[in-house]
Amino acid sequence: MYGATRYPLTRVVSRHCCAKACTATNSSMFLSRRGNATAALSAKGSKGQMVTHRTSKKQEQKMKMSGSIHTNGRTVYLNGSFLPEQDARISVFDRGFLFADAVYEVSSVLQGKLLDFDGHVKRLERSLEAIQMPMPLTADAFLQIHRRLIAENSLEEGVVYLQITRGNAGDRNFLPTPQAEATVVLFTQKMQLVENPKAKTGIRVVSIPDQRWKRCDIKTTQLLYQSLSKMNAKALGVDDAWMLDSHDNVTEGTSNNAFLVLADGTIVTKSITGTDILHGITRAAVVRVAAEMDMQLQERAFSLKEVHTATEAFSTSASSFVMPVVELDGVQIGDGKPGPVACRLREIYIQESLKRAV
């Protein structure tokens, strides 16, 4: 197991990659974040007026040239307006920015249509309820916004990202301002989902302790642990990490649900009766597809040891669909190639989801 107990997150990076290269990557990453923040954030001034903290045209041009500002010329949605991405501004006092007081959804788009949209919007409602926020718009209004963004950005294949925060409190205060309106942001991202080259080779993962808070069923933007874990996995030369509870049972991947296939063909995935994993929308679709195909599926805890002796493993998420996992902690799973169950489920999932796409 790789993780904080054996290898502190910060140290793994320097242990497993060239220190010079890492410093360069990290510093440019933080520079880029700062560059974006400086150019895009605005704040209330001492007299309450909106003060846009802008860099000069010359500075902006320089940052663009150094790759600090990535403008893709997209139209994004922000609080009722469809805007060019570079004109969408959020306050520095927004609680999403200060406290990760926000929930999000990612819906995939194939052939210009949304997959599993109903499931995503229902989970959004559930996440909001769990953090005591009302839905700021109806499900249908969200669908219309998604559709307009897909059309305006000519998105054939990729994802739509949606985030709702508890809004701008006008100051930093742990207690929210009751009258603050939610901030609603949506944007599109082009991605190669069907012809994802990783689906052909499978991915390699490492195990890490699950050190997240205990409400992983809420899709919040508190993603630092997952993000650091992905950085770690990359530094170790693998693709992702699967998280383990205190009994060495797999909870889920950093941004996906985890499955294995036993020698008799039974598919196993952790149940969603608790609050320790996300109720994945792709997971639900795969469970449904497996039942329709009369495949045996058990929803129960499974251990790290079981993964090592499984014939196949795979993960599911909106942006990767069904992704074969061919190695865990350096141990090959099955024959080390994407297995027939994962490949079949991927194919059927894509076919069936397209039929229901909206």
Catalytically active residues are: 219
- Specify the residue, 60 or 252, whose C-beta has the smaller distance to ligand PLP: 252
- Quote the CA–CA distance of 281 and 125 in Å, as a whole number: 14
Binder among 128, 316, 325, 343 for ligand PLP (CB under 6 A): 316
334, 312 contact by CB (below 8 A): yes
- Specify the residue, 85 or 105, whose C-beta has the smaller distance to ligand PLP: 105
Least spacing, CB of residue 307 vs ligand PLP, in Å: 17
Note whether 283 binds ligand PLP by CB under 6 A.
yes
Binder among 3, 96, 280, 338 for ligand PLP (CB under 6 A): 280
154, 178 contact by CB (below 8 A): no
Residues 91-110 that bind ligand PLP (CB under 6 A): 106
Q: What are phi and psi of 159, to 5 degrees?
A: -135, 160
Element (H, E) at 244: strand 240-244
For the residues of 269-318, what is the DSSP string, one character each?
Answer: E--SSSSSS---HHHHHHHHHHHHTT--EEES--BHHHHHH-SEEEEEET
Binder among 282, 326, 333, 343 for ligand PLP (CB under 6 A): 282
Note whether 313 binds ligand PLP by CB under 6 A.
no
- Specify the residue, 35 or 253, whose C-beta has the smaller distance to ligand PLP: 253
- Tell which phi-psi region holds residue 155, choosing left (phi > 0), alpha (psi between -120 and 50) or beta: beta
Note whether 281 binds ligand PLP by CB under 6 A.
yes
Start-end of H helices in 236-265: none
- Quote the CA–CA distance of 118 and 149 in Å, as a whole number: 18
Q: Which range of residues in 182-190, 277-285, 322-330, 339-347 is near ligand PLP by CB under 6 A?
A: 277-285
Binder among 318, 322, 325, 326 for ligand PLP (CB under 6 A): 318
- Specify the residue, 68 or 317, whose C-beta has the smaller distance to ligand PLP: 317
Q: Is beta strand 297-299 parallel, antiparallel or unpaired with respect to 267-269?
A: parallel
Binder among 127, 183, 232, 317 for ligand PLP (CB under 6 A): 317
135, 103 contact by CB (below 8 A): no
Q: What are phi and psi of 100, to 5 degrees?
A: 55, 35
Per residue, the 3-state secondary structure of 71-102, as one string, reads CCCCEEEECCEEEEHHHCCCECCEHHHHHCCE
Note whether 257 binds ligand PLP by CB under 6 A.
yes
Q: Which range of residues in 36-44, 144-152, 312-320, 326-334 is near ligand PLP by CB under 6 A?
A: 312-320
**Total interface residues for ligand PLP by CB under 6 A:** 13
Binder among 40, 260, 278, 328 for ligand PLP (CB under 6 A): 278
Q: Is beta strand 183-190 parallel, antiparallel or unpaired with respect to 240-244?
A: unpaired
Q: Which range of residues in 2-10, 59-67, 251-259, 336-344 is near ligand PLP by CB under 6 A?
A: 251-259
Q: What are phi and psi of 162, to 5 degrees?
A: -130, 135
Residues 193-232 that bind ligand PLP (CB under 6 A): none
Note whether 261 binds ligand PLP by CB under 6 A.
no
Decide: residue 190, CB within 10 A, 0-12 exposed, 13-18 middle, 19+ buried.
middle
- Specify the residue, 47 or 300, whose C-beta has the smaller distance to ligand PLP: 300
Note whether 255 binds ligand PLP by CB under 6 A.
yes
- Specify the residue, 207 or 256, whose C-beta has the smaller distance to ligand PLP: 256
Note whether 163 binds ligand PLP by CB under 6 A.
no
- Quote the CA–CA distance of 160 and 158 in Å, as a whole number: 7
Q: Which range of residues in 190-198, 248-256, 267-275, 331-339 is near ligand PLP by CB under 6 A?
A: 248-256
Query: Which residues of this protein are in contact with ligand PLP, per CB under 6 A?
Result: 106, 252, 255-257, 278, 280-283, 316-318
